[in-house]
Amino acid sequence: MRKGIRNWGPPLLLVSPTIIILGIFVYGLIAANIQVSTTNRHSLAPESAFVGLENYVALLSEDRFLHSLFNLVMFTVVFIAGTMLFGFIWAWMLDKGVSAEGIFRSVYLFPMAISFVASGVVWRWLLNSAEGDRASGLNRIFESLGLGFLQNAWWNEPIWGMAAIAMPAIWQLSGYVMALFLAGFRGVPQELREAARMDGASEWKLYRYVVFPQLSPIALSALIIVSHMSLKVFDLIMSITGSIYQTEVPATYMWVTLTSNDYAKSATIATILLLLASLFIIPYLIQTWRSEKANR
Amino acid sequence: MTVTDQAPRAARLDPGMRTPKPARRFTMGRTLKYVFLVIFVFVVLIPVYVLIVTSFKPPADVTASTSWGLPVRWPWESVAPGGPTGFDNWTGAWTALAPALGRTFLLAIPAALISSFIGAMNGFVLSRWRFPHADIVFTFILFGMFIPYQAIMTPLVQMKTTLGLPSDISTLLMVHIIYGLPICTLIFRNYYVSIPMELMEASRVDGAGMLRTFASIVLPLSLPGFVVTIIWQFTSAWNDFLFAMFLSDTSGGPVSLALNNLAQGAQLANYGTAMAGALLASLPTLLVYIILGKYFIGGLMSGSVK
């Protein structure tokens, strides 16, 4: 009924600046990035030639890049496990109705408000690798509690170093996962719980068979969100260790290549990051779009 | 519309945080749960404790063996006569960060306001004044929220060089406004879908134009949405480090860059100054969180994947 340009013209006009700007700065720049990644522009010199997928082949067979991918995987696994574990436990404990719930919630969630750079300042100190008499930070705590054997070099450890870097990230984002889960717990209809109680289900069985199964969509989106964050980890590593080989992930490797004006290589790393992220983005967008249509 | 009318709507942005009545039974299990909850509070607050105590210790008192202890002297006392005091950490951090703190306010506040306003208009037409294929446009806009910004960084840096844009907050302001548009649009669109709009429909039937309807009917109802997007945008611009590193330098950049500079320089010498600086730089976002925590969570929920 409300057809015709007089109806749809104005709203389209109102949103068109955003469409154009994002068309340039999101889609246009992604295209430009892919274009640069297929050239041999490895220095400031503007001349460049098309080299196809050469940069990708070179990167994926480079030890340094594979090492950064390994670091990323290590970081991601520990980070996801930690945030999901703490986030879930906290939400579960708070779900059952706790006095002063607001205080616990606020404390668990507050690290989210702090920047990675600021928290990096204190975590670099907590994760100080000195041991024994010279130990400070967490190693000092272990030392004084008689748990000296727990002392370690944290991010200086050869294989497990990235697991130490994941600790501050877990500290910052577990509260966020808690908030997601808590919304999930509270979204379980009260009638469902009542019904289970009437049937004589114990508290544990109520959770095991009634509440937990309802949480799987939340768990899935928490998983997607946290993995997506993990993929982009940059600030935290830069502020704790700087861009060093030992804690290098693709995002910090890209910083190193771009600051040395190797545009082609940094664009190649960026495209690979985008492809990895798409594994999470595209299903999410398809789902959003479908529910959009369903709601019409 | 009065302020009280809007209160319940604000609550809607706070998804499912209603608190059930606590059961007043004292059992072993309940006691144990409180013990764990309190232990976790202490664990989460460890870094805060370290930040605060270290920031008030003169450098000579930040030794390995005393590092966890409370300060052993008042912050205005020095170890040796005339030596540095605990307060010197704070004055040192303030001197190092003050210009950058000012710049960051000039960056984060306009970035938050402008993105929010454009986002409100977008959200309005994508939810309440639709046009054919609005869904596709919405998805098109939304995509920008989920990309790792590394994917646009190389050409963006090249573009900055080509256009000769300055390495200061003016460039960052533009960038934060642009990349804040998707999330602001999303938040407003979801918000407008969630509130009843009979008035708007009536106004539309009466033949009022789009802009007039937006300005006189929709905008006055939008305060809760604005609170969420402004907090979200302010916090992300304030805490941003990625764009700051790639597009600005320490002489013109935001506080995250200045703090990192202060902290990296203090590798050996003075943790106290770095920690005082970290507290200073976190104060604005922490205050926002403490005062407007509920809305902060609302933004987090809709900001999901960002």
What is the DSSP code string of B15-44?
TT-PPPPPP----HHHHHHHHHHHHHHHHH
Residues A138 and A127: beta-carbon distance below 8 Å: yes
Interface membership of A8 toward B (CB under 8 Å): yes
Give the phi and the psi of residue A50 in degrees, each rounded to 5: -70, 130
Q: In this complex, do B33 and A96 lie within 8 Å of one another by their Cβ atoms?
A: yes
Is residue B55 included in any domain, yes or no?
A: no
Q: In this complex, do B185 and A97 lie within 8 Å of one another by their Cβ atoms?
A: no
3-state secondary structure (DSSP) of residue A160 = coil
Domain count, chain B: 1
Interface membership of B31 toward A (CB under 8 Å): no
Report how far apart, in Å, the C-alpha atoms of A115 and of each of B64, B192, B248 are: 26, 30, 18
Query: Would residue B82 be called left, alpha or beta, if left means φ above 0 and alpha means ψ between -120 and 50 degrees?
Result: left
Which range marks the domain in which residue B250 is found? 87-303
Nearest CA in chain B to A227: B305
pLDDT digits (tens, 9 = 90+) for A74-117: 999 999 999 999 999 999 898 877 888 888 988 998 898 899 99
User: What is the distance, to the nearest Å, from the Cα of residue B193 to the centroid of all Cα atoms in its chain?
Assistant: 25
pLDDT of residue B6: 33
B31 burial (CB, 10 Å; 0-12 / 13-18 / 19+) is: exposed
Residues B229 and B183: beta-carbon distance below 8 Å: yes
State how far residue A159 is from chain B, nearest Cα, in angstroms. Answer: 24
Scanning A277-296 for CB atoms below 8 A from B yields 277, 280-281, 284-285, 288-289, 292-293, 296
Residue A235 is nearest to which of B135, B155, B242, comparing CB atoms?
B242
User: What CATH number did the domain enclosing B279 receive?
Assistant: 1.10.3720.10
Scanning B127-186 for CB atoms below 8 A from A yields 129-132, 134-135, 137-144, 146-159, 178-179, 181-182, 185
User: In one letter, which amino acid is A249?
Assistant: V
H/E element, B289? helix B271-291
Give the phi and the psi of residue A39 in degrees, each rounded to 5: -115, 175
Is residue B29 included in any domain, yes or no?
A: no
Stated length of chain A: 296
pLDDT of residue A251: 94
User: Which residues does residue B78 pair with via DSSP β-bridges, in sequence order?
Assistant: B85
B274 burial (CB, 10 Å; 0-12 / 13-18 / 19+) is: buried
pLDDT of residue B306: 41
Residue B235: its chain A contacts at CB < 8 A? 113
User: Which residues does residue B124 pair with via DSSP β-bridges, in sequence order?
Assistant: none
Report how far apart, in Å, the C-alpha atoms of A223 and of each of A88, A220, B293, B306 are: 12, 5, 24, 13
Report how far apart, in Å, the C-alpha atoms of B252 and of each of A217, B165, B232, B238, B275 are: 44, 12, 23, 14, 22
Residues A24 and B143: beta-carbon distance below 8 Å: no
Residue A292 is nearest to which of B135, B281, B288, comparing CB atoms?
B135
3-state secondary structure (DSSP) of residue B76 = coil
Low-confidence ranges of chain A (pLDDT < 70): 1-3, 5, 132-134, 148-149, 287-289, 291-296
Residue in B146, B304, B193 with CA at minimum distance from that of residue A179: B304
Interface membership of A192 toward B (CB under 8 Å): no
A77 burial (CB, 10 Å; 0-12 / 13-18 / 19+) is: middle
How far apart (Å, rounded) are the C-alpha atoms in residues B247 and A190? Answer: 51
> What is the rounded average pLDDT for all residues in chain A?
86
Residues B116 and B124: beta-carbon distance below 8 Å: no
Give the phi and the psi of residue B85 in degrees, each rounded to 5: -110, 175
Residues B125 and B210: beta-carbon distance below 8 Å: yes
Residue B194: its chain A contacts at CB < 8 A? none
Give the phi and the psi of residue A49 in degrees, each rounded to 5: -125, 155
How far apart (Å, rounded) are the C-alpha atoms in residues A88 and A104? Answer: 14
Q: What is the DSSP letter of B7?
A: H
Is residue B168 included in any domain, yes or no?
A: yes
- ipTM given for this complex: 0.88
Q: Which two tokens mark A12?
A: 């389209």
User: Which residues does residue B82 pair with via DSSP β-bridges, in sequence order?
Assistant: none
Query: pTM value?
Result: 0.87
pLDDT of residue A62: 94
Residues B247 and B167: beta-carbon distance below 8 Å: yes
Residues B197 and B113: beta-carbon distance below 8 Å: no
pLDDT in tens, chain B (306 residues): 233 333 333 333 444 445 555 555 567 778 888 899 999 999 999 999 989 988 888 877 777 677 777 787 777 777 777 777 778 889 988 998 999 999 999 999 999 999 999 999 999 999 888 888 888 899 899 888 889 999 999 999 999 999 999 999 999 999 999 999 999 999 899 888 888 878 777 877 787 788 888 888 888 888 888 988 998 899 999 999 999 999 999 889 999 999 998 888 755 557 888 899 999 999 999 998 888 877 766 666 655 444
Residue with tokens 């709009």: B197
Third-level CATH fold of A63-249: MetI-like fold (1.10.3720)
pLDDT digits (tens, 9 = 90+) for A236-260: 999 998 888 989 999 999 999 999 9
A275 burial (CB, 10 Å; 0-12 / 13-18 / 19+) is: exposed
Is residue B5 included in any domain, yes or no?
A: no
3-state secondary structure (DSSP) of residue B87 = helix
Q: Which two tokens mark B92?
A: 């040192």
Q: What is the DSSP letter of A133?
A: G
User: In one letter, which amino acid is A230?
Assistant: S
Residue in A179, A167, A173, A182 with CA at minimum distance from that of residue A113: A173
How far apart (Å, rounded) are the C-alpha atoms in residues A165 and A68? Answer: 14
How far apart (Å, rounded) are the C-alpha atoms in residues A294 and A285? Answer: 14
Give the phi and the psi of residue B137 in degrees, each rounded to 5: -60, -40
How far apart (Å, rounded) are the C-alpha atoms in residues B13 and B294? Answer: 9
